[in-house]
Each structure stands twice: as structure tokens, then as C-alpha cells.
Amino acid sequence: MIELSAADIAAITGGVLSGPAQQEPSRVVSSATTDSRESLPGGLFIAKPGEATDGHHFVAGAFANGAVLALVERPVTDDAGNEYPAVVVPDAVEAMGKLAAEVVRRLREHSPLTVIGITGSAGKTTTKDVLAQILQEEGPTVAPIGSYNGEIGVPLTVFSAEYGTRYLVIEMGATGVGHIEYLTSMVRPDLGIVLCVGSAHAGEFGGVERIAEAKSELPRSLSRDGVAILNGDDARVAAMSEMTQAPTVWFTEDPTFGTAGTAVRAEDVSLSVEGNPCFTLVLPDGGRHQVRSLLIGRHHVANLLAAATAAHVLGVPGERIASALSGARAVSRWRMERTDRPDGVTVINDAYNANPESMRAALATLAELGRGRRTWAVLGEMLELGEDSVSAHDALGRVVVRLNISKLIVVGEGARAMHTGAVLEGSWGDEAVFVSDVSEAEGILDRELEPGDLVLVKSSNGAGLRHLGDRLATSSNNHPGGLSL
């Protein structure tokens, strides 16, 4: 983080100095966090209110770890009744946004900085990870940790930048109209990537069209000097080219889409036997480069193309783009995370997030990789689908049967319609089972998994199946017909 004094922070946020900070407004912070356990010497601790707890309760712990200033909504005292040095603001989260905006302004003032915003209903984190791996070879690059993509995560990403940062990659998530607009007002992106419009969070948004409206806030925010990077294979995303004053560069698998010099394409797409996407990267300048990704699943072609398009716009040579795409790995956890165990069982843990589109993509990958093997789909609830939840889960249960997945375990009451759909589609006997919780699912896998089996574990984050996936990945087959867990 660039250094800021207590006086700077008070001026930027409209806050008031409290405690020893009143007598020492020049005290400087060089890092910032909302987690007291991550506080560093010379750091700023941001005491934001939370759903489960209140950051103000952890101010003492932050200072014990070396923090020298707190951003709070009320003064906090130690056991002796002395106030901790702080900047007091009405709203800590809003203050974070103001600080982030000022940090970006100062970074731009100091040296060249390009801010790349990424949004979409799926693929944001993977695209962010791949793009960051390309750009870090071109200059100092900062990108989010995991899925830091909201009103807390975006400022924390910005705070990790230093003077001299060349590329700032920002993942932008939303649960309602106006959220991305707020994030764009904070960081003022130069490039805006929109991946897709799906049904994730449809219940919160009020429908897919409202999701499209929210995602369009990114290209709408771009200036004439910016570039909108849009998915030509998603009609709702393609329509956003009419909503931005910035020029558009497309990424697509359609050889007829776009005009000459405006599209980055993937041709001759295939999957390796390990499930890695392979394709010819075709750039607007006519360059053709072979890519063999280390990611798993055909659906990652769009994410790889999006990252390649941004890199091309930024002037990275085609051969370096293709080389980086071929070497890029999944950095963030629980996203098609493959483990080949010594006993011959393969586990794919993709249980960080789930919506109907990503579920179908993961199941298609399971079917493709599972030819000649027994396949298991261990599936939990897709959250925040609103009134479409039952029909969406039912439809996925039918997809499992149509793809000839050997075994389906549906976990949790919220996902029960998947089991119902599978049964109605013709999956009887023990091919599809419903269990109420993770422990029941684990018991079945303990008894029945065999060497050579391929297991996909997928659900929304809140369903908790990712931890089951972790345990499966580190287990070994120590007795016939089952696992030692």
C-alpha cells in the first residue's frame, strides 16, 4: 500500500482523528486490512461491521499485531480506558471506497497505470488469474486474492498496489443493479471485460435481464479512450457494445463474428485426454498461435480468450500471450481443482461457486473425462436462484442422466429437485441418491469409491461441499471398495 498519514486518511474520508492520532496526525500507515489476524506493523486496521461479528471487537488484536491506526465508526478503548489511535467515520465500508479511489488517483499521478475491470456471471476469478499471469511478465501487476470482488474486496485489492504498479486487475461482482457502477466509480477502469450473463444470483437481481443491466455498468463506465472487451458468443453481452462510448474488441469462437481486426478467436478447439482445452489463438493482426491450457474444462476457452484479448489490446506480443496461456494455472482454490490420488481415484473439486451454466459446464467436463471410467457427480445446492430454483435444480438432475454420469449424490434439501429430476429422467435404483448432509455423502463415498473412479464435487460456496472435496483429495484407498477418510 502507498503510505498515507492519519491526517491524509481523515481528509480523504471526511473522518475525525481520535485518541493519540489527534496529537500525532502525521503517523503513517503502509498496509491495510479488515482482518485483525493479518494486521502488520505500521498497518491500518479497518473495523467494519459484519453479519456475524463487529470489527470493533478486534481492534485490540490488530494493535497487538502491529497496527498503528484504526478506521472505525466509533472510538474504541483499551482495558485501561485509553482510546486507540483512530480515524472515526460514519461508515467504514464507504470510507474504504473513498480511500481506494484516492489511492488509484495517486497511483495514476505517479506513473503509468492501467486498470482492467472484469465482470460476468461466471469465470471472473479464472480470467483474472490468467490475465494476471500474462501481465506480470510485462510489468508490476496487482490482482485480487481469491474472489475479492465487492465493496470490501475491491478496495483491499487497490490497497495492495504500490507506486510503480503498471497493471491493476479488478474483479467486479454484484448482487444488484448499481453495485458495479459503484466499483467503477472507485477505480475508473481503462479496459472493461464482460464474460457472460447467466442466472447466478437471479433471485437477488430479479431476473436475468436485470443481471445483464448490472453487468453493462462496466462497459457503460468506460471513456472514449478505454476499450470494451466483450463476449461475442453471448447475445446479452454482445448487445453491450451499443451501450458504451469506448471502442469494442470481441472474443469469440464464431469465425463469422465481428469485422476484420476487431476480434480475438479460438479455432480448432479440442480437449486433451486430461481435459485441458487446446485451440488455435487467432489475433486481429492475423497471428495464429497454438495454446494448450493447463486448466480443466472446455468452458475455460472463453476465459482464456478474454484474458488473451485484454493482453492483445495492451500490446503484449501474440507469442508471449500464447505461451502464458499455455502455462497459466488455476491460482484460486476450488475451481475445477483436480487431484489424481495414488490409489487411482481422481477428484475434481469445483465447489466454490455454482449456477446452472457452470454446473452444466462442469458436468460436461466430467462426462468427457470419464469415458471408460466410473463417474460420480456429488452436487449441492445452487444458491440465490429465486423462484427458478426448483426448476433449475430439476433440469440439472436430468442433465446428469443424459450425460450418462454413473452415480449422482445430491446433498441437502435445497438441492433435492436435482434428485427428483434425475429419477424422472430415468435414473433409478442406486444410480441417484439424495442425502441430507455432507456426512451422509461422505459415508457413501467411503463405502463405494473404487480405484479408477472420477468424482466431481460441485455446489455453491454456502453449501460447504468444497471441504468434502478437500478431504476426498487427500484420502487414500486403504481397503477394498472404499476409502479411509
CATH number at 405 reads 3.90.190.20
In a domain, 332, yes or no: no
The identity of residue 145, as a single letter, is I
C-alpha cell recorded at residue 283: 489475433
In a domain, 179, yes or no: yes
- Answer for the pair 363, 469: CB distance below 8 angstroms, yes or no: no
CB contact burial 198-215 (16+ within 10 A = b; e otherwise):
bbbbbbebeebeebbbbb
Distance CA 69, CA 56 (A): 13
Claim to verify: residue 51 and residue 129 sit in the same structural domain: no
Place of cell 446428469: 400
Distance CA 376, CA 356 (A): 18
In a domain, 300, yes or no: yes
In a domain, 82, yes or no: yes
CB contact burial 310-326 (16+ within 10 A = b; e otherwise):
bbbbbebebeebbebbb
H/E element, 313: helix 300-313
Structural domain total, the chain: 3
CATH number of the domain bearing residue 28: 3.40.1390.10
Claim to verify: residue 172 and residue 294 sit in the same structural domain: yes
Claim to verify: residue 255 and residue 112 sit in the same structural domain: yes
- Among 302, 327, 352, residue at a domain's last position: 327
C-alpha cell recorded at residue 71: 478506521
Gap between the terminal Cα atoms of the chain: 43
> Positive or negative, the Cα torsion across 376, 381, 385, 391?
positive
Claim to verify: residue 121 and residue 190 sit in the same structural domain: yes
Claim to verify: residue 229 and residue 113 sit in the same structural domain: yes
| Burial status of residue 474 (CB atoms within 10 A of its CB: 0-12, 13-18, 19 or more) | exposed
Q: What is the pLDDT along the chain (485 residues), one digit of tens a residue?
A: 999 999 999 999 999 999 999 999 999 999 999 999 999 999 999 999 877 789 999 999 999 999 999 999 999 999 999 999 999 999 999 999 999 999 999 999 999 999 999 999 889 999 999 999 999 999 999 999 877 899 999 999 999 999 999 999 999 998 889 999 999 999 999 999 999 997 655 556 667 899 999 999 999 999 999 999 999 999 999 999 999 999 999 999 998 887 767 899 999 999 998 889 999 999 999 999 999 999 998 989 999 999 999 999 999 999 999 999 999 987 777 778 889 999 899 999 988 878 888 899 899 999 999 988 999 999 999 987 888 899 999 999 999 999 999 999 999 999 999 999 999 998 767 899 999 999 999 999 989 999 999 999 999 888 889 889 999 988 765 433 333 32
Claim to verify: residue 59 and residue 33 sit in the same structural domain: yes
Claim to verify: residue 425 and residue 443 sit in the same structural domain: yes
- Measured CA to CA in angstroms, residue 169 lies from 45, 241, 448 at distances of 23, 21, 44
Read out DSSP for 18-34? EGGGGT-TT-EE-EEES
Claim to verify: residue 350 and residue 454 sit in the same structural domain: yes
Claim to verify: residue 378 and residue 320 sit in the same structural domain: no
pLDDT of 475: 79
CATH number of the domain bearing residue 272: 3.40.1190.10
Claim to verify: residue 131 and residue 199 sit in the same structural domain: yes
Please give the torsion angle defined by the CA atoms of residues 165, 171, 176 and 182, in that order, rounded to the nearest 10 degrees. 10
pLDDT of 111: 96
pLDDT of 331: 77
Residues in contact with 87: Cβ distance below 8 Å, sequence separation at least 6, in sequence order: 6, 9, 10, 13, 15, 16, 17, 18, 21, 69, 70, 71, 72, 95
Nearest to residue 124, comparing CAs of 183, 176, 184, 197? 197
- Among 327, 354, 376, residue at a domain's last position: 327
Please give the torsion angle defined by the CA atoms of residues 259, 263, 218 and 126, in that order, rounded to the nearest 10 degrees. 160
In a domain, 193, yes or no: yes
399 alpha-carbon distance from chain centroid: 25
In a domain, 32, yes or no: yes
Claim to verify: residue 218 and residue 144 sit in the same structural domain: yes
- Among 90, 108, 138, residue at a domain's last position: 90
Claim to verify: residue 267 and residue 119 sit in the same structural domain: yes
In a domain, 367, yes or no: yes
Nearest to residue 172, comparing CAs of 228, 211, 218? 218
Beta bridge partners of 264: 251
The identity of residue 302, as a single letter, is A
Place of cell 467503477: 184
Whole domain around residue 239: which residue ranges? Answer: 95-327
